[in-house]
Each structure stands twice: as structure tokens, then as C-alpha cells.
Structure 1
Amino acid sequence: MNIPFLDNWRRKHAGIQATPLATAVGGEQEGVTELLSECELLRVRAGQSGLRLDDSPGSLDELDQLPPRWRDDPEEMPWLGNDAGLYLGTVIVRTVPGALWHIWPGGHPVVRLASGREIQVVEAGLEWAVTGTPELAQVYAEAAEA
């Protein structure tokens, strides 16, 4: 998918290193994971559909199957997408060995895998909320393979 403003953002941020999130906020990685895993809006909407989010890879597949009712509310959609990205990151950090939260200058959280590859989980969550792709379970599968 060609999204011009993302190309500009990537060029602008090329070479800028992310900082471990726990270091950036002065806390422990598990505390940061707890903070970012709240995803209250997503958990409420999933619960209304009978889905309990248990921070497992299987819950991502179940989220992918939900009818996208949030698309009916343009004000809620970006918030839900942000939560979906943070939830995706939480599942990756909790289940993929060596995955950690990092923060870009300006407060942008990403997940860095043991390989050094960074996953823009918030962007993936926003795209998922708007279009349904990439599927959250697919992003997770790619992270688990890396």
C-alpha cells in the first residue's frame, strides 16, 4: 500500500534510534507492558461482543473475526485502532522471546524484536481498525517467526 506521508515519515526518522521504553519512562519493562496493555476501549468493545482478551496470540485471531462496528463511529475508530496496536504489541512482548517495548523520540511506542527489527504496532492497529488489514494475527505470526 502506498501511503505518501508514511514514506516521508520514514525518511525523516531514518537513523533515529529508539530508546527502550522502560528506560525512557524510568520504569521496569513489565510495568511499562502493564501500562500499555490496558487498552480499555478495545477490551470493552471486545467484551460487548463476548470476547475476553487474555493477551494470547489466539485472542488476536478472535479480534480479527469481530464485525467492525467501530467503523460506524469515526471519532472512536482511531482510539480503538490505537488500542488494537498497543494490544498487539502487548501480546508480542509477552509471548515472543526477546521482544521489548521501545519508544521513539516524541513518545511513539514500537516493539523491537530480538533480531533488532522494529514493528510499528500502533500503525498496524490503526490500519486494522480502518481497513481490516493487516490482520493482527498475521502481524503477530510474522513477529514470532523473525
Structure 2
Amino acid sequence: MNIPFLGSRHKKHDEAVLALDPEGVAELLSECELLRAQASQEGVLLDDSAASLEALDQLLPRWRDDEESLPWLGNDAGLYLGTVIVRTVPGARWDLRPGGHAVVRLASGREFDVVETGREWAASGAPELSQLYAEVAEN
């Protein structure tokens, strides 16, 4: 994920932002407004739980007809997946890569490009968000 307002900063700056305000960065990444609005229209409450990922996986993918919003929705889906992981898996945290690309790092050091996963999910429905969460939560 590229966070445009961070610009083309260096890794040291991204690490400094996370070190200074990791909760602020996590809050910013958890907004996912488009996904939350889409889910709400379908009666799904995104409460940052694993169960909400299962509910997302069950939605009819009406967004696939809108090529303009598809990448944005996929981005939001990935950030939402990351939010659930960071908030529920002990030791998981956000990590910013150069250019503001957000990934989730587990306590083991393993990293997940949740944004790419979200884009794949929005485009094809696979991998299921709840399935990836279950795999991550096991580690």
C-alpha cells in the first residue's frame, strides 16, 4: 500500500513514524471507509473480528462490476485483514516499507502483504480473508 501523503519517504522516516505513534498509524490504516460502507449496505458489521472476515467472504461480489472502485475496495480489504490480524494476533504489528507500503509482521518475523491479498480477494474471491487469517493466527 502506498500512503500518498507520506510521499516518497525513506525507511528510517517510516520506522520513526511507527515508533512515535504506532497506534495512530494503526488507526489510520484501519479506516477502510469504502469496504466498511459496502459491507454496511449488505448488513455486515465490520467489528475488527475474525467472524467479520468470514462475513465478508460470504458477500456477493457486486463490486467486481465497478472497475473504478475495485482496486480501492481491494486495498481496503487488505488493510481490514491487517487490522484484524494486528488487533487479535499477539505480537502482530504494522510495518511500513519504503514508499509507505504497509505489511503485517508477526512476532516470528514472518511478513504478510495483506494489501496484495486484499486486491486478489476483491478481484477473484481467493484467497478467502478468513482462511488467511486462520493460517496467520495458528503461527
Superposition TM-score, scaled by structure 1 size? 0.83
CA pair 20-49 structure 1, distance change in 2 beyond 3 A: farther
CA positional deviation for 1:33: 1.0
Q: For 1:24 and 1:46, locate their aligned partners in 2 and report how far apart those are by CA, in whole Å.
A: 30
Q: Which amino acid aligns with 2:93?
A: L
SS in 1 for 2:94: strand
Q: Which residue of 2 aligns with 1:6?
A: none
- Deviation string 1:98-130 (CA, Å, 9 cap, x unpaired) is 000001111100000000000000000000000
Q: For 2:12 and 2:26, locate their aligned partners in 1 and report how far apart those are by CA, in whole Å.
A: 15
> Of the candidates 85, 92, 97, which is equivalent to residue 92 of structure 1?
85
Instruction: Considering fraction of residues, name the structure with more helix.
Output: 2
Q: For 2:28 and 2:51, locate their aligned partners in 1 and report how far apart those are by CA, in whole Å.
A: 21
Runs (4+) of structure 1 exceeding 6 A deviation are: none
Matched-pair contact (CA < 8 Å) for 1:21–1:109: no
Q: How does 1:1-146 map to 2 (within 5 A)?
A: 23-24=16-17, 27-146=20-139
Q: How many residues align?
A: 129
Q: Which residue of 1 aligns with 2:4?
A: none
Q: Which amino acid aligns with 1:92?
A: I
RMSD of aligned Cα (Å): 1.7
Matched-pair contact (CA < 8 Å) for 2:85–2:92: yes
Q: For 2:13 and 2:89, locate their aligned partners in 1 and report how far apart those are by CA, in whole Å.
A: 16
Superposition TM-score, scaled by structure 2 size? 0.87
Structure 2, unaligned stretches of length 5 or more? Answer: 1-10
Q: RCO greater where, 1 or 2, for CA within 8 Å and sep 6 or more?
A: 2
CA positional deviation for 1:24: 3.5
Q: Which residue of 2 aligns with 1:11?
A: none
SS in 1 for 2:20: coil
CA pair 19-42 structure 1, distance change in 2 beyond 3 A: farther
CA pair 20-34 structure 1, distance change in 2 beyond 3 A: farther
SS in 1 for 2:104: strand
